[in-house]
Amino acid sequence: MRAALTRNTSTLRARRLLLSVLVAATSGCGIFDRIKPGPHDTVASYHDDYALRIEYPEVKTCSTAPSLAAQQTMEPMTLEDPSKIPALELSLDEAIRLAVQQSPVLRSIGGAIVTAPQTVSTIYDPALAHANPFSGTEAALSAFDAQWTQQLFWNTVDQPQNANFGGGIVGAFTPRVSQQTQATFNSSLSKQTAQGASFALRHVINYVDSNNPIRQFPSDYVGYLEAEWRQPLLQGSGTTFNRIAGPNSSIGQYNGVLIARVNEDVALADFESAVINLVADVELAYWELVVGYRILEANVKGRDAALQTFQYQQVRLEAGAGRSDEEAQAQSQYYQFRAQVEQALGGVTGLYAREQRLRYLIGLAATDGRLIKPTTEPTDVRVVFDWQSALGQALDRRVEVRRQRFNLQRREMELTAARLNRRPTLDFLGQYRWRGLGDDLLGDGDNGQLDNLYDSITSGDYQEWQAGLEFAMPVGLRAASVAVAHARLNLQRERALLAETELKVSHDLSDAGRQIALTYQLVETNFDRYQADLRQVDVLRRRYKDGTDNINFLLQAQRQVVASESEFYRALSNYNIAIRDFHRQKGSLLAYNQVQLSEGQWAAGALRDAYDVGRCLTPRLQPEEVCMPRPLTSGPFNPSAPQASMFSDEGMIYESDLPLAE
C-alpha cells in the first residue's frame, strides 16, 4: 500500500514537473530568453529598423477628372438652406450621359472600389480579355504564326589520345593530341496550319578545323538543307479540332481560336451587364433625389404649420384664453417637425446624402458649392406592357441569358474537341534533304567539286529522303475518355443553368410587372389619402379657431397630412423605379434610356490593313457549294435597339422602349 502510494506520488511530481517545463517553454520567458546576449547581440540590425517598416509607394499618377473632383471637394453641407445654394439643374438624360462618359470605371451605389478594386468593372475589361496573353484571341492565333529560330555556337577540342603510333615504350611516348575548332549554325522556319499539319525548312552548317592527318582539307564545312512535313492523321487532325483546342494541345486543355472568341463575348456580356447596373443605379439615385426634395418640402410645410399653431397658442395663452398644456403640445409638435426637417435635410437618407450619391455616380465632386436640382418630372400616367411580347424579349435579350448561351456554346465545342481527341496518335512524316561538303563556305577555289559548301548543296549530287508513319496510343485511352465524360457533364450543367436562368428571368419579369401595377395603384391611393388629409386639416383648423374642437385633433391631422404627402411622393418615385425595373428585367433598359454601346476607334494601321485585305475579297460565284464551319453567332446584336412591342389605346399608354412621355 505504501509502495503504491509512493509510486503515485512520484508519478504526480513527474507530471507536475513536465507541465511546468511545457508552460515555461510556451510562455514569454522561455529557456532561450534566459541566455545572456553575446557581444554581437548588442549591435543594431539593419533588418529591424529598415526592412520591416511600412513605406509609401512611389508611382506615377495622371491628372484626371475624377482625381480633380476628389481634390476640389469642399466642406460638406449639413443643415444649410437649400434655397440659398446655387442650383445645378440636371435632367435624367443628362445624368445618365455624364455617368457613362465621365470615367473609365463603371461606378455603382455601395461599390467596392476602395475595399476590393479588383472586382470593379471598367471600360478596359473587354480589351483586356482580347489582349490576354494566355486566353485571348490574338494569343490563340499566335499558335499558327511562323516560327524562325537560329543558333550559332563555337567550341574547341583539345583532347589527348591514348594511342602509340610509333611502337615505342609505353612509358616514354608523347600522346597525340586531337585539336579542333568547331562551329555550328542552325536556322529553321516552321509553320503550323489549321489542319494540324506542320511544315519546317531547316538549314544546318557544321564547321570543323582539325589537326587530323587523314583529312583531305584541314578545315571543312558540312551542312544540309532540309524540308519536313508532319501531318496528323488521327489525333490532332482537322480544322474543327485545331480551331477549338489549338495545335499541340494536351488532353482537356482547350485554348483554340473559337474558345478565345467565346471568352471575349463573355467579357463583352459582363461589360454590358456592368453598364446596365450603372444606368439603373443612376436612375434610382435620380428618383430618390426627386423624392428627397418632395419629402423635405412636405416636412417644411408641416413645420411651418406647426409653428403657426404654436404661435397662435402662445397669443391665446398670453391673452388668458388658452391653456398651457395645449401650448406645450403645439410647441412639442413644432420641434418634432423641425427635427424631421433637419433629418430630411442632412440625415443618412436626407437630401444632401441623396444628392451626394448622385454626384458620385455622375463623377462630380462630393460638394462644389452647388446643389443638383432634378428637372425631369416623374411619370404619373398609367403604363401597360404587352406581357407575351415582353416575356419573349426578356428570354431573348437579357444579357444574362446571352452570356449563359455563350457558356453553353463553349461547352459544346469542348465536347466536340474531346471526342476528336479520343483517338490514337498517327502522324505521317516526310523529309527531304540536300547535303553538301566544301572546303570553303562561299567563293571559288581550286578544289573542284568540293570547293565550297553551297555549290555542293545546290548541285543536287547528295540527296536524302525519308517517309513513314509514327503511331502512339495509351492502352485504353483512359485520360481521353475521362476528358469526354468531363466535357459531357459540363455541357449538361450549362444546359441546366441556362434553363434555370430563363426560369428566373420569367419570375423576375413577373415580379417587375406586378410592381408596376401595384405602385401605380399606390400612387392613386396615396394621392386620394393626401387630398383627404388636406381637407381634414382645413376643417379642423377652422373648428379649432372657432373653439369647437380640441387642439389634439388638429395636431394629429397636421402629422397625417405630412405623412400622406411623403407617402404619395414615395409611391410616385417607386412607380418610376418599377418602370425602370421592368425594362431592366426585359433587357431593354439601355434602349429605354437611349444608351448606345459601340467599339472604340481602331488604330489607323489596322483600318488600312483591313481595307487592303477587303479589296482582295470577292463574292463566290456559287456560295451554296462552299463548305464552311458553323459560325459562332447568328449575326450582330444591338442591346440598345428600340423594340416596338406596345401599342396605344384609349385611356391607357402602351409603351415602347423610348423614354416615357407624360
Q: What is the per-residue pLDDT across 378-412, written as a single tens digit (0 to 9) for each? A: 999 999 999 999 999 999 999 999 999 999 999 99
Q: What angle do CA 346, 350, 354 make, to 5 degrees?
A: 115
Q: Where are the domains of the chain?
A: 76-128+264-374, 148-157+177-254+425-472, 378-399+506-596+639-662
Over range 463-489, report the average pLDDT. Answer: 95
- State if pTM tops 0.85: no
More confident position, 607 or 509: 509
pLDDT band at residue 165 under the 50/70/90 scheme = low
pLDDT at residue 48 is higher than 70: no
How far is the CA of 623 from the CAs of 116, 351, 628, in angstroms? 52, 64, 10
Interaxial angle between packed helices 351-362 and 324-346, expressed in degrees from 0 to 180 and rounded to the nearest 10? 10
- In three-state form (DSSP H/G/I as H, E/B as E, the rest C), the secondary structure along 231-278 is EECCCCCCHHHHHHCCCCCCCCCCCCHHHHHHHHHHHHHHHHHHHHHH
pLDDT at residue 94 is higher than 60: yes
DSSP per-residue string spanning 132-162: -TTTSHHHHHGGGS-EEEEEEEEEEEEEEE-
* C-alpha torsion 654→655→660→662, nearest 10: -10
* Per-residue pLDDT tens over the stretch 587-631: 999 999 989 888 777 777 777 888 887 877 777 777 666 666 677
CB 119 within 8 A of CB 133: no
Q: What percent of the chain stands above pLDDT 70?
A: 86
Going by the DSSP 8-state scheme, the letter that residue 108 receives in this structure is -
- What does the mean pLDDT of the chain come to? 85
pLDDT at residue 13 is higher than 60: no
Range with the poorest average pLDDT among 98-112, 261-275, 291-305, 561-575: 98-112
Look at residue 274 in the predicted model and tell me its pLDDT: 93
pLDDT band at residue 333 under the 50/70/90 scheme = very high
Look at residue 602 in the predicted model and tell me its pLDDT: 72
pLDDT at residue 19 is higher than 50: no
Range with the poorest average pLDDT among 125-129, 143-147, 629-633: 629-633
pLDDT band at residue 350 under the 50/70/90 scheme = very high
Going by the DSSP 8-state scheme, the letter that residue 169 receives in this structure is -
The set of residues, in sequence order, having a beta carbon less than 8 Å from that of 324 and lying 6+ positions away, is 317
pLDDT band at residue 119 under the 50/70/90 scheme = confident
How far is the CA of 473 from the CAs of 230, 253, 651, in angstroms? 18, 18, 75
Look at residue 479 in the predicted model and tell me its pLDDT: 93
pLDDT at residue 656 is higher than 70: no
More confident position, 651 or 403: 403
More confident position, 212 or 128: 128
pLDDT at residue 40 is higher than 70: no
